[in-house]
Chain A
Amino acid sequence: MSAHLPILIVVVPLVAALVVPLLGRRTPGVAHAVTLAALIFALVASGLVLARVVVDGVWRYQLGGWAPPWGIEYVVDPLSGGMMVLVSFLALAASTYAWSYLLATDPGRIGLFDSLYLLLVTGLLGIVATGDLFNLYVFLEISAIAAYALLAMGGDRATVATFRYLLIGTVGSSCYLLGTGYFYALTGTLNMADLTERLSGVGESPAMAVGIGLIVVGLAIKAAVFPFHGWQPDVYTYAPPPVTGFVAAAMTKVSAYAIFRVLYFVLGGTPVAASALVFLGGVGVLAILAGSWLALAQTDIRRMLAYSSVGQMGYIVLGFSIGSPIALVGALFHVLNHAVMKSCLFLVAGGVRWRTGFSSVASFVGMGRRMPLSMLAFAVAAVSMVGLPPTVGFFSKWYLLLGAFEARAWPGVAALVVSSGLSAVYFFRVLERTFVVSDDRLVATESRELPAGMLGPVLVLAAAGLLLGLFQQPLITHVIQRALPATVS
């Protein structure tokens, strides 16, 4: 079966998702075990596929045995392979966390939750693996609808926020679909590789520009890139922690991946893509500044993290825009950094809220003593978000900054520096309360540390944040640098 690994990575979670709701009713434990098993399979299989792809080059898999462009193909290269590993790793971490959380809050719905969670993962993995524009749309919608349901579990406010997200998200995916339609009209194909080939025969036209604009805007809405981030803060604030921890980390990154894939691989080198990238650069700078500034103004920690994500997406988009090898390494490395660290931050913030019922910045006073290990993880992730050594966030920022310098992109340099300063302010505001400000009333209170099932994933993510930074070299040389498009490196 190892010849079919690329498809099995997507199908196994799907099959598990079909079994889990039926199991969940009577034996939630078995259901969750199946969920974890499927996710572990996805992680291991992604790892194997990535290892093979790194050695042997791109792995194409024809679904239904039909050769592209007539059939749909899966294309796994170091970029998509790496993303698959990342997505399944985050999914595994957040799902492990979810068990303890749901058992305590909502045991009756574990089966349904796990099922939709697996479908969300299926959707994201499908987006990453596919080599077909329309197939990407279908999996985009699978992940989106599953995410709507999961996000709405957070309660009444979450429902309202999710409905808004649903409307905006549908506009986004419709934009994407329409853009796909434009390219279909111009080339007659939906296969990405074939499209690249056929586009060389098609001259520049406004239709092409509009097509790329629609695709990028559609995906930017999904990725919550400024100024299309309007849906995001509310959704992240009110959703249940295990969901936010995964959605905030993985879903937006997968959309960012899709933008990268389209602009660099499908349309790489065309003038239209180039001007789209220039435009994205401006957007990225504004996003960095606006996100950090707005995060500064928040009093709820989850909302602060949400706005921080807006800024961090700006880093990634800025890196894409600069487009030199070093900047792209920085952007992709930042995808990794932000995914892992933001997941950790949201999981801890959610855990604090679950334990204490509060989530305002002010309520973090003395938390360092009550939940020492979780807060340590939080601190590591926060330091990484600010971009201070020796965490992974410093190195991704370093590469981005180096790329910006080499490209003489001064606004980018300025934005990166200013945003580091701002994020230092809003994160240290929290850390100071957590560890330094002491509240005498709290000294007597018992420890409120998270249960092992929730603490474990959090600590693993934080440790990843430290280790990936220092031992980045194999990762970057073997995966990220090979993931760059041929036109760049």
Chain B
Amino acid sequence: MTLSLEPLAVVFLTLMIACAVAVLSVRDLLAAVVVFGTFSFFSATYFAVLGAVDVALTEAAVGGAITAVFFVTAIFRTDRGAD
């Protein structure tokens, strides 16, 4: 990995920020969860780019899968409305 990956890292971080803003501003809660999943996916990629494969794997499993599933379950158990 002699290739300089820093620009790529910056790109993914930018995407993460965009997703984070979207999570907070999307009206529909379920959509927010989906965006949150994407956010986790981007962060996992970012970690992978920086060489943190273990963290990336865990973040993908936890953020993208478990937390998202928890959120979705919770939304179905509660309500879906916007703020």
Q: Find out whether A and B make contact in their complex, taking CB atoms under 8 A apart as touching.
A: no
Binding site for A on B (CB under 8 A): none
| Residues of A near any B CB (own CB < 8 A) | none
